[in-house]
Amino acid sequence: MKLIIGLAGRMGSGKTVVCNYLHGRYGAKQMRFSQILMDILDRLYLPHEREYLQKLGHSLRTSLGEDVIVNAFEKDMERVTSRVVAIDGIRYVNEVKMLRKFEDNLLIFVDAPVDIRFRRCRARGEKGEDKIEFEEFLRAEKRETERHIDEMEKMADYRIENTKSLKELYKEVDRILGNRL
């Protein structure tokens, strides 16, 4: 049986760090809902910037139905043969519902204070965030794709406050997984 671990949290909270750890430590197959969007952006020769990802996702959900990305992702999930799957970046209730369809699942919410998350986003420099100003970061957190994050926190099975060292973060992940793996 597959263990499906969903990771939710605000921008820069450490979801991808946890996902990478799950891959390295437990051999988890890493997946992201946004990969579908990145594939489309690649085909359109557009960069993987957060603004493009958010606008494209919104357009697809508005024009083709709220579940269009989730349905495609679920079909991708069915093909995965790994014993453990880590989904990086759950942002919507319908994505959690899809996660819950799998018998063995967990939703982990990763969080950190806004100042720490802002510094992390600038430092990692992905999705065009290396030059982002604090006010712009705060505006980005209010965009449509980020509006349901509080709901994700309430739906989570576990919450990690990611403010300490990587070693402490990994120890917390191991504690949550316990003897499930």
pTM: 0.89
Per residue in 80-89, pLDDT (tens digit) is 999 999 999 9
CB 176 within 8 A of CB 86: no
Per residue in 49-66, pLDDT (tens digit) is 888 998 999 999 999 999
Per residue in 140-154, pLDDT (tens digit) is 777 766 778 999 999
Domain over 3-177 is classified CATH 3.40.640.10: no
